[in-house]
């Protein structure tokens, strides 16, 4: 079955330190992978995606993510965290072999990132 | 400005009183979708639409209806709301109805409480 796991409910990091938010997935085919961020009282905003090509993808606000097929992971990273990065982060996967031609995303449960000053 | 709008943003209602949450996008997107967000469960898809007059069930469609009479609008209808439909609802749209190469754009959310 298609699924996405975000094993950490919360990640705490000091401002200026590198951050990692973890995501693993399970799909039948080659996945399309996405990261979204949700700030308080706001909708989800797209950060970055992996469709094909280079395993390291760069996105908005200095975030990047690495696609690792052997480990079925797509961890979100940033070299130096900012207090303003504090938000809820969602990993999502699209399995082209599932759901027919529909643009169906499977979301993880979310990871709350807290960056301390 | 390209955006997805939802109304109302907050709604408190009573069991059984029909309600509609509106969703509109100004990006000429073909694909639109409704999700509900619940703590510990992430986002779950309620219904989606691949184009005008084309709608289908998502993972949790029970108790909901949708319509897509115009490309820009995709209202969510709760004919007889129940307390278990208390949740945060998001509308989203995307350029392509499939296979999902393009990201989805989300509205600001509607927080619904059913008493």
* Per-residue tokens: A27: 């799909």
Q: Which of A25, A39, A41, A1 has its CA nearest to residue A91?
A: A25
Is B19 in CB contact (< 8 Å) with chain A?
no
Instruction: Indicate which of A35, A44, A88, A90 best probes the interface with B, i.e. most B CBs within 10 Å of its own CB.
Output: A44
CA A60 from centre of chain: 12
A45-74 pLDDT per residue, tens:
999 999 888 999 999 999 999 999 999 999
Residues of chain A with Cβ-Cβ distance to B101 below 8 Å are 32, 51
Beta-sheet pairing, B10-13 with B19-25: unpaired
* Largest Cα span, chain B: 40
Whole-angstrom distance, CA of residue A59 vs CA of residue A76: 10
Mean pLDDT of chain A: 91
Q: Output the CA angle A100-A104-A106, nearest 5 degrees.
A: 125
A44 to chain B: which residues are within 8 Å by CB? 43, 90, 92, 104, 106
A25 at interface of B, judged by CB pairs closer than 8 A: no
- Tell me: pLDDT of A82 over 80: yes
Contacts of range A45-53, beta carbons closer than 8 Å, 24 or more positions apart: A45/B106, A46/B103, A46/B104, A46/B105, A47/A76, A47/A89, A48/A76, A49/B103, A50/A74, A51/B101
pLDDT in tens, B23-62: 999 999 999 999 999 988 889 999 999 889 989 998 899 9
**pLDDT value, residue B33:** 93
> Looking at chain A, which residue has its C-alpha nearest residue B32?
A103
**Residue B1: pLDDT band with limits 50, 70, 90:** confident
């Amino acid at each position: 079955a298609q699924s996405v796991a975000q094993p950490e409910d919360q990640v705490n990091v000091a401002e200026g330190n590198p951050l990692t938010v973890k995501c693993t997935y399970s799909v039948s085919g080659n996945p399309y992978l996405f990261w979204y961020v949700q700030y308080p009282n706001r909708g989800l905003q797209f950060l970055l995606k992996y469709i094909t090509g280079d395993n390291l993808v760069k996105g908005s606000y200095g975030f990047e993510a690495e696609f690792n097929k052997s480990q079925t992971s797509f961890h979100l990273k940033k070299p130096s965290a900012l207090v303003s990065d504090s938000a809820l982060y969602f990993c999502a996967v699209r399995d082209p072999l599932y759901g027919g031609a529909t643009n169906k995303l499977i979301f993880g449960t979310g990871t709350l990132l807290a960056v301390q000053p | 400005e390209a955006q997805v709008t939802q109304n109302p943003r907050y709604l408190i209602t009573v069991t059984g009183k029909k309600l509609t949450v509106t969703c509109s996008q100004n990006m000429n997107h073909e694909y639109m979708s409704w999700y509900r967000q619940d703590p510990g469960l992430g986002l779950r898809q309620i219904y989606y639409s691949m184009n005008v007059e084309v709608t289908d069930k998502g993972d949790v469609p029970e108790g909901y209806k949708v319509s897509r009479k115009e490309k820009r609008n995709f209202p969510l209808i709760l004919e007889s709301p129940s307390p278990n439909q208390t949740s945060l609802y998001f509308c989203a749209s995307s350029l392509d109805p499939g296979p999902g190469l393009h990201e989805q754009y989300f509205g600001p959310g509607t927080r619904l409480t059913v008493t």
